[in-house]
Amino acid sequence: MGIDSLIGGTIWDEYSQKVTDLMNNPRNMGEITEEEAAAMGAKLIVADFGAESCGDAVRLYWAVDPKTDIIKESKFKSFGCGTAIASSDTMAELCKGKTVQEAVKITNIDVEKAMRDTPDTPSVPPQKMHCSVMAYDVIKKAAAQYMNVDMESFEEEIIVCECARVSLSTLREVIRLNDLTTVEQITDYTKAGAFCKSCIKPGGHEEKDIYLVDLLEEYEKEKMAASATLGNDGEGVEFAKMTIVQKLKAVEKVIDDNIRQMLIMDGGDMEVLDIKENGENFDIYIRYLGACNGCASADTGTLFAIENILKEKLDPNIRVLPI
């Protein structure tokens, strides 16, 4: 086997059989004329959309029943690569029989999945995912013309990853809720950055206004600012609003600064085992060590002193419970 055929085989292995078939034998390529639309009792819609990043373009034809908004016929012309032809053909097929309002909900992911041979195997290589995005965009363009609205009115949020249709608000929420620190983690959680990778950082297939690395940097700066303002141990935060880790650190600090040395002087010590919220109270479970374990005052005077200091320094609703 020659090197050219080996390389070619490797490339083609990344395309589904459906895609390769549609590249050569598209089902819906062509145009719909005014006369043909009129014969169907339909309104003709012609929409053009081009991808500046690769020079591909697609023209979509719809014959829409004005009484029901149902797309009675859908055809396309594509000016671009084979993947663009396959994606546009699949897009046109998915539009048939749907209302315009239903068709505008078809996403690029729907187009890509419809071209798969098996549900779990992508139909095209990641760098060609943008072709299905173009198919999605031309649907919005056609729907906007038919409904006489702005194309952007269909987009309610800023989309950072066009391939996986992941919005800015979703990415910010996922990053913060899961404390994500790498692009790989973002991709695992959301699929953003898994396809053409243009959304990861500048210099990719398409220029973006905001990238995944920008969101990670934004989150890191927020954490640093919060740490500088509140302190890693929660200093400056109300005890009730601290995380469990901050509560534990705050309790340990008060014990170290005000209590532990007195216990050690008498041959004893203590350790904090857990903190649990119990209604409006914060129950702090401790264990006495050394001479304090079994001491007569451990459950009376010593306990009251520990509890009173913690109440004074941290929160009046603290209760100390020895185990």
DSSP summary character for residue 83: H
CA distance 152 to 142: 12
**In a shared domain, residues 54 and 144:** yes
Residue 82 lies in a domain: yes
Task: Determine, yes or no, domain membership for 32.
Answer: yes
Looking at residue 4, its pLDDT comes to 34
Chain centroid offset of residue 18 CA: 29
Residues 182 and 287 in one domain: no
DSSP letter for 29, please.
Answer: B
If asked whether residues 171 and 146 sit together in one domain, one would say no
Examine residue 190 and state whether it is found in any structural domain, yes or no: yes
> Do 108 and 177 fall within a single domain?
no
Alpha-carbon dihedral angle through residues 171, 177, 180, 184, given to the nearest 10 degrees: -50
Active site residues: 54, 131
Domain total in the chain: 3
Residues 58 and 92 in one domain: yes
pTM above 0.75, yes or no: no
54 and 101 part of one domain: yes
Does some domain include residue 160?
no
Q: Report yes or no on 23 lying in a domain.
A: yes
Per-residue pLDDT of 181-231, as tens digits, reads 999 999 887 788 988 888 999 988 778 899 999 999 998 888 777 665 545
Q: How far is CA 177 from CA 109, 170, 244, 278, 297, in A?
A: 25, 11, 16, 25, 45
The verdict on 150 and 172 lying in the same domain is no
DSSP state of 78: E
Q: Are residues 221 and 244 in the same domain?
A: no
Tell me which residue range forms the domain holding 179: 166-229
How many angstroms separate the first and last alpha carbons of the chain?
Answer: 75
User: Residue 156 — φ and ψ, nearest 5°?
Assistant: -85, -20
Out of 116, 131, 155, pick the residue that ends a domain. Answer: 155
Q: Among residues 131, 155, 179, which one ends one of the domains? A: 155
Specify whether 192 is located in the same domain as 145.
Answer: no
Mean pLDDT, consecutive 10-residue stretches, the chain (323 aa), reads 39 85 95 97 94 76 98 93 92 97 88 91 79 83 93 76 82 83 88 87 87 94 67 65 86 91 89 91 93 84 92 94 91
Torsion of CA 87, 89, 94, 100, to 10 degrees: 100
Q: Are residues 91 and 109 in the same domain?
A: yes
Convert 224-275 into a string of H (helix), E (strand) and C (coil): HHHHHHHCCCCCCCCHHHCCHHHHHHHHHHHHHHHCHHHHHHCCEEEEEEEE
| 15 belongs to a structural domain | yes
Distance CA 211, CA 208 (A): 7
Does 113 fall in a domain? yes
Residue 166: predicted pLDDT = 82
| Residue where one domain finishes, among candidates 155, 174, 204 | 155
SS3 state at 159: strand
User: For the domain that residue 316 is a member of, what is the CATH number?
Assistant: 3.30.300.130
Q: Is residue 161 part of a domain?
A: no
Q: Specify the CATH number for the domain of residue 14.
A: 3.90.1010.10
Same domain flag for 96 and 178: no
Strands 281-290 and 57-64: unpaired
The two structure tokens encoding residue 42 = 């339909």
195 and 60 in a common domain: no
Identify the pLDDT of residue 87.
Answer: 93
